[in-house]
Amino acid sequence: MSKSKIVIGNWKMNNSFDEAEQLITDIEESLSDYQLDTEVVLCPPAIYAELVTDHASLEDSKFYAGLQNVSEYDNGAYTGEVSASMLANMDVDFCIVGHSERRKYFGETDDIVLKKMVQLLNQQLIPVMCCGENIDERKSGNHFDVVQKQIEATIYKLTPEQMERTIIAYEPIWAIGTGETATPAQAQEMMSFIRSLIERKFGTEVAFYTYIIYGGSCNASNALNIFSQPDVDGGLIGGASLKADEFIKIIEAAETAGKEN
Ligand code: PEP
């Protein structure tokens, strides 16, 4: 049994409105030539949500709309926040949570990550939950422990039904935006470990169907080797998702890898 891959573009805090519109149009035009099995998700800054949902809602659209963050709270007096019900209202389907940049710069703890995931799941959105170790944790050999703790504090608190609607992104922090990618073997080793953690808690079938994707300096040159690993179900792409040509090549790699395994 095989499953198609997923490629998610995380634009972070980049692009003017015009640049965002151009990028979406370029990706849309390029993808119109393809008959894709790979799922594609674009996660622009929240203020451009409508831009991406407008395009994603077109009948022949080849991508889904996602965002990069959501409030842990319901609606109400939380100045500056955007709730999961607002995302649902805007027809956003996916949302990244627990990205290492949010953990580092905005104090997002595992508790907060869990609350955000539950908010999204309650609104029928798909959380893309990021986990991963920093360079010191990798060098000291603690990377498996670190990731296991993150999974236990978040994913393990979900019901099986919620787990089935959740994507896990393994993003070694030392590889994010650094140009240094995990080797395919390093990615496979960790992602098979994560799948074994899911299996232990939720059983073999849920573990098989759970999407576990890789993020960290993934680009057109290394994507195929990484995506061809048996436990790598696709990629969360930062910098390389800002260039339509490069992003399309990564989608092509996912498509090829999806047909191989
Ligand atoms: C990310 O931000 O999720 C990411 C993987 O970034 P980059 O591809 O730029 O390393």
Cβ of 10 below 6 Å from ligand 1: yes
Cβ of 216 below 6 Å from ligand 1: yes
pLDDT of residue 2: 65
CB distance 42 to 17 below 8 Å: no
Average pLDDT, integer, range 216-226 = 97
pLDDT of residue 251: 98
Name the residue of 6, 10, 67, 97 whose CB sits within 8 Å of the most ligand 1 atoms, as the mutation to test its pocket.
10
pLDDT of residue 3: 83
Tell me whether residue 55 is one of the annotated catalytic residues.
Answer: no
Which of 95 and 261 is assigned the larger pLDDT?
95
Q: Is the pLDDT of residue 106 over 80?
A: yes
Express each pLDDT in 178-207 by its tens digit. 988 999 999 999 999 999 999 999 999 999
Name the residue of 236, 241, 246, 249 whose CB sits within 8 Å of the most ligand 1 atoms, as the mutation to test its pocket.
236
Of 28, 39, 72, 99, which one is the catalytic site residue?
99
Ligand 1 atom nearest the C-alpha of 178 is: 10
Q: Is the pLDDT of residue 1 over 70?
A: no
Average pLDDT, integer, range 141-168 = 98
CB distance 123 to 87 below 8 Å: yes
What distance in Å separates the CA atoms of residue 113 and residue 184, rounded to the nearest whole number?
Answer: 27
Confidence (pTM): 0.97
Q: Which residues contact 61 (CB under 8 A, 6 or more apart)?
A: 28, 55
CB distance 255 to 38 below 8 Å: yes
Q: What are phi and psi of 163, to 5 degrees?
A: -60, -40
Average pLDDT, integer, range 161-173 = 98
Looking at the domain covering 6-260, what would its CATH class be?
A: alpha beta
pLDDT of residue 260: 83
Distance of CA 237 from the midpoint of ligand 1 (Å): 5
Cβ of 222 below 6 Å from ligand 1: no
What distance in Å separates the CA atoms of residue 21 and residue 222, rounded to the nearest whole number?
Answer: 27
* Geometric angle at alpha carbon 79, from 78 and 82, rounded to 5°: 75
Express each pLDDT in 49-103 by its tens digit. 999 999 999 988 999 999 999 999 999 999 999 999 999 999 999 999 999 999 9
Residue located via tokens 């580092």: 104
Joined together, the tokens standing for residue 162 give 């919620």
Burial environment of residue 151 by CB neighbours within 10 A (0 to 12, 13 to 18, 19 or more): buried
Tell me whether residue 99 is one of the annotated catalytic residues.
Answer: yes
CB distance 110 to 66 below 8 Å: no
Distance of CA 236 from the midpoint of ligand 1 (Å): 7
Cβ of 100 below 6 Å from ligand 1: no
Distance of CA 130 from the midpoint of ligand 1 (Å): 11
The domain locations on the chain are 6-260
